[in-house]
Structure 1
């Protein structure tokens, strides 16, 4: 199994000048997930913790890089990262931020890990909601395991989750490629996939692009839009997304294809992307393996 590309923090997952903050963290996927939960609060689930977020706090969910997340965390509280912050003092993010910080910590401990973009079946009955989780290499089991580092005891109760979030069943979290393939085969309804009032094959296609980029260590915001993403099913190049789905479903069997897609303008991160939440174009600077996006 080729796990080399997922063994070290790079680009968005690189703690940069804050790397020393990861020294002394508890070891292992479970302990690191608990650490992440003590540092972050989900923007849309904050009320369940008795927290009301103002606009300035909500803006924290627009942060892309782990290094910047750590900037803000330690500016508010300089204690070691293993010390859980009060719920109203935690860095605000969404599932992608929990996942990326978890991935960064795992990689720092030499545990291969990657962020996966797809859909969770465990938040709303009969729906598959836009979601990100960690996928890490379990050396004992010799396989990739899905870990939802966002799910703590409060959320387990809130959403009625009965499985172990440290080993999410593959039918409870569908990576984007699986969601696409099931819908294309008529085995799932595309209208069940999305979030808020946004659902459909076009939404799955957007997550497919994001998942491929995450597999290439470019973990963008869930609302960043670029390249082959479209807002209407009728505008999709179905054969192209079929190809992306095959890579998303079995990334380790398509390493060369992943590399090729990293150079494909329909997938490759451009210098600027459209932020659909802020309704504006934003510059994005990325550097992976010494190559910047141009």
Structure 2
């Protein structure tokens, strides 16, 4: 394992930095299961709210636009000033989406010195024979000497509703497909790109966007799911005609593991088309 990679992912980035609310993490559990429970007690998914019996106003739905963990913690405290470890009732949980579960858990893990990163890709457990746009967390298990995928969004209710059969604290690699894997599989005609996406959005253009999001997240720039800039595409034709070699390279770097960590960082530092302002 590359020591540089572990040191990098152990530290906060500009999105997960808790800033003025860093002390709120001090009394949290120091193990993954406990931190996942804390995250689940702080957030409610915008697309699942009604299934929980919660009606959201437009003002509350807008909370999914909070980009940085510091801003999320500020809103969490405004909704309910109790310590973070105390689960909130649904009505006072921050409204977020899968990306927010992933980044908030990463922030907590990094605060405890555990290397962590958010991954953007596709979940195989939401619809049969479909791969839905999704984010999860990935942390380095020193005991197992491997990166472990965690889906903090999957509480007991969602697991029962989706009838999942795996442990969300160790998501199998065939159940969460990182974006680079999906891109390369579809480029090689091993998968149908129309099976990847969300709602009425799917195809190579969508997968391509997630490749960029995942690559930037590996560089600790965790975008919002709808951020759209640089080498992303808006049509199938554009997805397969403009800067395709760059997307292939980003996909391979995202899959390569930490042996190419320095190459991943160098690509981010030197490829101006990837830059934005999170």
TM-score under structure 1 normalisation?
Answer: 0.90
How far did 1:261 drift?
2.6
Q: How far, CA to CA, are the matches of 1:254 and 1:70 in structure 2?
A: 34
Are the equivalent residues in 2 in contact too, given 1:13–1:103 (CA < 8 A)?
yes
Q: How far, CA to CA, are the matches of 2:81 and 2:112 in structure 1?
A: 22
C-alpha distance after superposition, 1:193-231 (max 9, x if no partner)? 000000001101000000010000000100000100011
2:189 to 186, 190, 210: 186
- Residue in structure 2 matched with residue 38 of structure 1 by the alignment: 41
Counterpart check, 1:199 vs 2:202: yes
How far did 1:234 drift?
1.5
The structure richer in helix per residue is 2
Q: How far, CA to CA, are the matches of 1:266 and 1:202 in structure 2?
A: 17
Secondary structure at 1:239 match in 2: helix
Secondary structure at 2:11 match in 1: coil
C-alpha distance after superposition, 1:2-44 (max 9, x if no partner)? 3111102221001101000001101211110100000000000
Secondary structure at 1:11 match in 2: coil
RCO greater where, 1 or 2, for CA within 8 Å and sep 6 or more? 2
Q: What are the ranges of 5 or more consecutive residues in structure 1 without an aligned counterpart?
A: 272-283, 285-294
Are the equivalent residues in 2 in contact too, given 1:251–1:258 (CA < 8 A)?
no
Q: How far, CA to CA, are the matches of 2:88 and 2:140 in structure 1?
A: 29
Q: How far, CA to CA, are the matches of 2:273 and 2:55 in structure 1?
A: 39
1:149 to 144, 148, 152: 152
What aligned pairs does 1:71-220 form with structure 2 within 5 A after superposition?
A: 71-220=74-223
Secondary structure at 1:137 match in 2: strand
Secondary structure at 2:154 match in 1: coil
Counterpart check, 1:254 vs 2:260: yes
Q: How far, CA to CA, are the matches of 1:137 and 1:256 in structure 2?
A: 18
- Residue in structure 1 matched with residue 273 of structure 2 by the alignment: 266
The structure richer in strand per residue is 1
Q: How far, CA to CA, are the matches of 2:107 and 2:48 in structure 1?
A: 23
Q: How far, CA to CA, are the matches of 2:237 and 2:272 in structure 1?
A: 20
Q: How far, CA to CA, are the matches of 2:245 and 2:12 in structure 1?
A: 33
Counterpart check, 1:14 vs 2:17: yes
TM-score under structure 2 normalisation?
Answer: 0.95
C-alpha distance after superposition, 1:21-72 (max 9, x if no partner)? 0011012111101000000000001111110111000000000000000000
Q: How far, CA to CA, are the matches of 2:181 and 2:275 in structure 1?
A: 21
Q: How far, CA to CA, are the matches of 1:233 and 1:266 in structure 2?
A: 20
How far did 1:115 drift?
0.3
Q: How far, CA to CA, are the matches of 1:209 and 1:52 in structure 2?
A: 33
